[in-house]
Homo-oligomer: A and B are copies of this chain.
Amino acid sequence: MKTVYSDLHGLQDAEAEFIRGKRVPSFEGPRRAELVLARVKEAFGLESVLERREFGLQPLLEVHDERMVSFLSDFWPRWSEENGAVDAFPNAWPPPRAHRRQTQRIGAELGRFCVDMSSPLMEGTWRAVSAGADVALTAQALVSAGDRAAFALCRPPGHHAGRDYFGGYCFLNNAAIAAQSFIDQGASRVAVLDVDYHHGNGTQDIFYDRGDVLCVSIHADPTKEYPYYLGYADETGEGPGADANCNLPLPWGSDYATYGEALVAGVSRIKQFGAEAVVISLGVDTFESDPISRFKLRSDDFLYLGKTIAKLNLPTVFVMEGGYAVEAIGLNVVNVLSGFENA
């Protein structure tokens, strides 16, 4: 399996995030992708890693609101002129029932689109995240051209970014962008399977009223875990998307016995749906030692996870999402990919 990678991800390098009023070192950083890359090279060979191609803005605009994309691409000069070269966090955001229309203040604009205190914008954010989208699109193009599967080593992750909002370390929804590409190239039905510990709320948001993209997400119960406000089992899609969204929340402490059952259910749902391709939102923060998560998957379990995904027997794009136990992140990702390849 080929891996697509761009070192531009390193331009998104947050010093800190705010958790419950305290400034703490960011859990999401460049070392995550570097360690995955090193392990991928060991497992699949140096020549398995490709640079991204560039796809421009259009694929982003197929899933994101044009106003957010413009905001992200134009942000830094306006912000740094007003505030200096400091990482940008929102300090106010639209209350319920308020407008989200454009203002003349860059700080208020930030509050229109940003939904947490973990996703600072900085000078290199746009270059990093637009390169990340290209990484996903390059992997999708490989699969579209005939590869059974490809791995988009995206960073920062993407699955928490919605149509017109970003947060949860995510800015552009790489998995949604890849899924949309299959549709744009003629597929009638595509699935996204999100195996990150956290609900893929952004992906759900993007496809919620569409019947051509099924979203399946297995994740920690959102009453107890980020993103809290979405990810419940009763969210099944709406309008033409009715019944094309499937959330499988699991309790804290779930091990692979529990997880594997949900995975089999999710995979069978994708088969029933008749998907012609699948995009995997590949987070490995389900790992037992993850510092911000509470599932109990062991490194070997990720082999089974990959093997089960392979049973779909579909063109498959793996897109990197979360995973914060950095010492194990490379092994866990490679185990998923190897489990898939050796199935």
Contact = CB atoms under 8 A, between A and B. Distances in A.
Contacts of A118: 91-92
Nearest to A228: B108
Nearest to A104: B223
B89 A228 contact: no
B162 A94 contact: no
Contacts of A18: 18, 89, 91
A22 B95 contact: no
Given A95-B229, A164-B96, A228-B92, A21 B120 contact: yes
A43 interface: no
Contacts of A87: 21
A207 to B, nearest CB: 12
Given A88-B20, A89-B18, A104 B167 contact: no
Contacts of A92: 115-118, 167-168, 226-228
Nearest to A82: B20
A293 interface: no
B230 A86 contact: no
A224 to B, nearest CB: 5
Given A91-B118, A117-B92, A229 B83 contact: no
Contacts of A230: 95, 98-99
Interface of A: prevailing SS? loop
Contact of A108 (B97, B168, B229): B229
Interface residues of A, number: 57
Interface string A185-203: 0000000000000000100
A301 interface: no
A120 B20 CA distance: 10
A228 B105 contact: yes
A83 to B, nearest CB: 5
Interface in A38-93: 82-83, 86-93
Contacts of A98: 201, 205, 227, 229-230
14 contacts: A18-B89, A21-B89, A23-B23, A91-B116, A92-B118, A92-B228, A95-B162, A95-B167, A95-B227, A96-B162, A103-B222, A104-B224, A105-B223, A112-B229
Interface of A: 17-23, 82-83, 86-105, 107-108, 111-112, 115-118, 120, 162-165, 167-168, 201, 205, 208, 222-230, 232
